[in-house]
Amino acid sequence: MEGRVAQWVAESVPRLTFDQVLDRLNHLTRPYHKNYLAMYSSWLGGIVTDPALMMIPMDDHLVHRGDGIFEAFKCVDSRVYGLSRHLDRLERSAKALSLDVPVNRSRLEQIILETIRVAGVRDCLIRLFVSRGPGGFSTNPYECPASQLYVMVTVLHETHQDKYNLGVHVKTSFIPMKRDYFANIKSCNYLPNVLMTKEAQDEGVDFTISLDERGFLGEGATENVGCITDTLEFVVPRFDRILRGITVSRMLELAGVLVEMGILKGVRESDVSPEEVRRAKEMMMFGTTFDVLPVVSFDGHPIGDGRPGPFFRKLLGLLREDMRSGSEMVTPLDE
Amino acid sequence: MEGRVAQWVAESVPRLTFDQVLDRLNHLTRPYHKNYLAMYSSWLGGIVTDPALMMIPMDDHLVHRGDGIFEAFKCVDSRVYGLSRHLDRLERSAKALSLDVPVNRSRLEQIILETIRVAGVRDCLIRLFVSRGPGGFSTNPYECPASQLYVMVTVLHETHQDKYNLGVHVKTSFIPMKRDYFANIKSCNYLPNVLMTKEAQDEGVDFTISLDERGFLGEGATENVGCITDTLEFVVPRFDRILRGITVSRMLELAGVLVEMGILKGVRESDVSPEEVRRAKEMMMFGTTFDVLPVVSFDGHPIGDGRPGPFFRKLLGLLREDMRSGSEMVTPLDE
């Protein structure tokens, strides 16, 4: 009897053979797998489309230390938007962590575009990861012989229409802001951001926004924030303490035309206090997936008349026009 | 000719079939793979011993957000040291992140011990990861249906003898300390720790030690620090700003016997200034892999007479005795 119990205990944590693992991978499908279109892995040396194979070595320091960087951008109507700026920022993040991007810029672009082509859709979201690479389980980056590149292409869900029509609700976050040193590195140490997203869900709002030690606005979990002041200026928080978002940066450039037209008095980066926001005509969030969203309440206070305003529509229109145009922001998929 | 170039470009980022990936995995061996003995993966549902299969889904939020926690402990002469305390701390980290450990405590212990048994050696290092799990690529933890458990067993390199004999050199770190909120969560957001390890390597010392904003000593990248003061007290930095190390905590308990014997005047947690350390009789590092190491210089200043001292040997002896004993710290592998 004892023997049988001992056998049962041993069996209850099965040891898997190579073939058993393959069998498991072969039969592994999850509802969310349908969103995964293609993945390039420098570790595997090519592009896979079976979600069960979209794996990464456990010893890649990205996994156990968050020792890697990323970028997220999208392809709309077969045009990749902001590719060049995202890759510029990737290079800045890599430099800050003394991390080698394992391929040169033109090869990197080739891999990205080819992975999107294999994904086979006109609209998708692309996430690019550069990791310290496999090599061991310590914190020592020098134990990794070679950094790795992973490019993940997923379905782009266009489910923002309700939010464009009705606006979003935001609150102040209680999660401490990242230290200056790390704020401008788009690393995979994103736990503060994860907790901000969780906080928003738990609080029943769309986003929470961090405040710095002096009480000025920071950023959302993965979004930037800005407002149209009561003096008709387009103001966003200074980028010295937060990540310089590609969408909001482009928005600041495009808004110049509204200044020229006399619709806006100016565009500036500065300290933004919660009081200034509460007095604002409009408040908005900026991000890769949704472009611009109108904020209709902040910590329960209505912004403007509590409905999406005309500046939101103008700014969203400018960004969408920029995507359709032949501007330097656009890289067509089929060249 | 243009056609051939286009074809070459397309081929140069190969699309891999399921079988090609298997073939690649089947032939994948790296020098560091010899250190990987066994891995349990709740995703695969068992224990694998082929290092090429020690993979994790790319969409596990541990990978792309660092949304997971870990513990590292060792098995010496078929006895797991400090298992219960490491699992207590794991539970505290999990709670702080609202992360579910996917199995109960007794099942967790069973999985760990069985993975070590499959590893088949008497001495090894165990790393345990609890991740938010696969489910998507956003920051939202609620998109993950189930957290996952990964247990990695690797070779325990006993290469510390030189350091026990000659001592180690440490310097002050320039990497900013983690925020209080995150300092006591043993998460996989370990980039500050990675950069401290890199800093030590770059500076040609064994470890660097963080300072808090007031200039008091914090911790090493993955080690605690302590000293024997000129008044014969065993002092370690307060644990409200740093991770409470299992080794140093046990050391503080075990050192009680030296106080009873009148060899030490006392044992305390307090603010420790660099000046106090420079005046100290001895300085030491504490960690899971090496237990205790004697520090012989700090920022270039010799500590004591610049050689490993008698308290280091006494403290190391107490820890080693604790590992050999039948204390509550020890879980024998073969029960």
CA–CA separation, B187 vs A23, rounded Å? 32
For residue B189, give the chain A residue with the closest CA. A189
CATH number, domain containing residue A28: 3.30.470.10
| B136 and B191 together in one domain | no
CA–CA separation, A242 vs A177, rounded Å? 9
| A35 and A168 together in one domain | no
Q: What is the mean pLDDT of residues B216-234?
A: 97
Name A60's Cβ contacts closer than 8 Å, sequence gap at least 6.
A43, A68, A131, A132, A133, A134, A148
The CA-atom distances, in angstroms, between A49 and each of A78, A120, A152, B37, B140 are 19, 11, 10, 30, 24
CA–CA separation, A40 vs A151, rounded Å? 5
Q: What is the pLDDT of residues B13-56, one digit of tens each?
A: 999 999 999 999 989 899 999 999 999 999 999 999 999 999 99
Q: Which residues of A touch B222 (CB under 8 A)?
A: 138-139
Name B104's Cβ contacts closer than 8 Å, sequence gap at least 6.
none
Say yes or no for a CB contact (<8 Å) between B55 and A59. Answer: no
| B115 and B221 together in one domain | no
Indicate which residue of A95, A186, A198, A281 is catalytic: A186
Q: Which domain holds residue A224?
A: 161-324
| B19 and B147 together in one domain | yes
The CA-atom distances, in angstroms, between B199 and each of B115, B206, B226 are 34, 10, 20
Classify burial at B226, counting beta carbons within 10 Å of its beta carbon; exposed 0-12, middle 13-18, buried 19 or more.
buried
Q: Which residues of B touch A145 (CB under 8 A)?
A: 30
**How near does any CA of chain B get to the CA of A92, in Å?**
16
Q: What is the pLDDT of residue B182?
A: 84
Domain closes at, from B155, B171, B198: B155
Residue B209, domain member (yes or no): yes
- Going by C-alpha positions, the residue among B37, B39, B102 that lies closest to residue B68 is B102
Confidence of residue B184 (pLDDT cuts 50, 70, 90): confident
H/E stretch holding B36: strand B36-41
Say yes or no for a CB contact (<8 Å) between A188 and B115. Answer: no
Say yes or no for a CB contact (<8 Å) between B191 and A97. Answer: yes
- Going by C-alpha positions, the residue among A40, A37, A54, A36 that lies closest to residue A111 is A40
**How near does any CA of chain B get to the CA of A272, in Å?**
23
**How near does any CA of chain B get to the CA of A269, in Å?**
26
Q: What is the mean pLDDT of residues B53-80?
A: 97
| A144 and A18 together in one domain | yes
Q: What is the pLDDT of residues B123-151, one digit of tens each?
A: 999 999 999 999 999 999 999 999 999 99
| B145 and B167 together in one domain | no
**Most A CBs within 10 Å, among B12, B20, B21, B95, to test the A interface:** B21
| A146 and A227 together in one domain | no
Q: What is the pLDDT of residue B286?
A: 98
Say yes or no for a CB contact (<8 Å) between B9 and A150. Answer: no
Confidence of residue B335 (pLDDT cuts 50, 70, 90): low
Q: What is the pLDDT of residue A183?
A: 84
Say yes or no for a CB contact (<8 Å) between B14 and A190. Answer: no
| B140 and B165 together in one domain | no
| B280 and B197 together in one domain | yes
Domains in chain B: how many in total?
A: 2
Residue found by looking up tokens 């939020």 in the block: B61
Q: What is the pLDDT of residue B122?
A: 95
Q: Which residues of B touch A221 (CB under 8 A)?
A: 139
For residue A185, give the chain B residue with the closest CA. B191
| A149 and A52 together in one domain | yes
Q: What is the mean pLDDT of residues B65-85?
A: 97
Q: What is the pLDDT of residue A7?
A: 44
Say yes or no for a CB contact (<8 Å) between B201 and A140. Answer: yes
Say yes or no for a CB contact (<8 Å) between A65 and B190. Answer: yes
CATH number, domain containing residue A284: 3.20.10.10
ipTM of model: 0.95
CA–CA separation, B3 vs B5, rounded Å? 5
**How near does any CA of chain B get to the CA of A181, in Å?**
7
Domain closes at, from B105, B135, B155: B155
Domain closes at, from B155, B185, B216: B155
Task: Point out the residue among A15, A57, A181 whose CB comes nearest to the CB of B47.
Answer: A15
CA–CA separation, A8 vs A2, rounded Å? 10
Of the two residues B282 and A179, the one the predictor is more confident about is B282
- pTM higher than 0.80, yes or no? yes
Which residues of B are tagged catalytic? 186
**Most A CBs within 10 Å, among B18, B95, B140, B194, to test the A interface:** B194
Say yes or no for a CB contact (<8 Å) between B64 and A190. Answer: yes
CA–CA separation, B14 vs A110, rounded Å? 12
Ranges under pLDDT 70 in chain A: 1-11, 335
